[in-house]
Amino acid sequence: MTVTLTSGAQIRRGGVFQSAASQSAVTTTATQTLPIVTDIVTMDGPTGAISNFLTLADGSEGQELMLVYNSTGTGGGSTASSGDIHVTPANMAFMNSITFRKPNQYCRLRFMNSNWHIMERTTWEEAVDGGDGTASGGAAPVTVDSQVLTRSTGTDQAWTLADGLYEGQEYFMTAIGGTCVRTVTPNSMFAHTAVRMDFTSTQGTIPRWARLKWLQNGWHLVSPLTLTATSISNISDAIVE
């Protein structure tokens, strides 16, 4: 008996990729569409100080897709205008986008329950306060891995942090330089009410950071301090309140 398949979604079995496609770099910021009819898509990064913006349509139930920043790309950026690849799925669980900054970064996705789910990745999603460091506060996004607070002078920053999106979610906050005090108040937090980061101590401009983890309906402070390799006295004062 001979069985011939003439259509339908491709499904990967046994860890072997059956087909691949490539996405060439473009010289403008015009949005491109990623192919979803193969198992793996390699993406060339932009060679100039721009970013490539890509969209990803919904897949079929159970479909897996591997996205790889091709080693021929130059990348090297960290914002939406400095050489990154930004992929925005039409529907995605817990996050809104995937950002590739360096060649050989990858992300393995599976489409389940009408959403793309991240199964494995070497990417990192980062948000900068107000995009340019001028915001005086607001709601910190929980759909990213980290929030960078860069405002250096002026009005102190007051941020709120919503509940985590799933059990075990980790969230990283960093404050960089200046005299501005940054206070982050989570909606639900275990044992504390807020995290305060300032630069008024003798430690000067050492970045302050705090790592939080969402467990049992509350944010837990995992690591509130920064240490340097030179001296134990150089402890940054990320203060819990």
Cα 146-149-155 angle, rounded to 5 deg? 150
Considering only residues 24 and 94, tell me which one the structure prediction assigns the higher pLDDT: 94
Q: Is the pLDDT of residue 82 over 60?
A: no
Which among 175, 185, 125 is positioned nearest to 150, based on CA atoms?
175
Q: What is the pLDDT of residue 116?
A: 96
| pTM of the model as a whole | 0.67
Considering only residues 7 and 234, tell me which one the structure prediction assigns the higher pLDDT: 7
Contact 209, 182 (CB under 8 A): no
Give the integer Cα–Cα distance in Å for 38 and 197.
46
Report how far apart, in Å, the C-alpha atoms of 7 and of each of 10, 15, 60, 220 are. 9, 22, 13, 49
What is the band of 180 on the pLDDT scale with cuts at 50, 70, 90?
A: confident
> Which 8-state DSSP code applies to residue 130?
G
> Which 8-state DSSP code applies to residue 131?
G
Query: What is the strand order of the sheet 218-223 is part of?
Result: 126-128, 146-149, 170-175, 208-215, 218-223
Tens of pLDDT along 101-132? 877 889 999 999 999 999 999 988 888 776 55
Average pLDDT, the chain: 76
Report how far apart, in Å, the C-alpha atoms of 134 and of each of 34, 40, 153, 184, 203 are. 34, 40, 9, 16, 24
Give the integer Cα–Cα distance in Å for 175 and 235.
14
Q: Which of 70-79, 97-106, 185-194 has the lowest mean pLDDT?
A: 70-79
Torsion on CA atoms 193, 199, 201, 206, rounded to nearest 10: 110
Contact 185, 161 (CB under 8 A): yes
For the record, the structure tokens of 151 come out as 């405002």
Query: What is the strand order of the sheet 195-197 is part of?
Result: 137-140, 157-161, 182-186, 195-197, 238-240
Tens of pLDDT along 128-162? 776 556 677 888 888 888 888 877 677 888 889 99
Contact 142, 170 (CB under 8 A): no
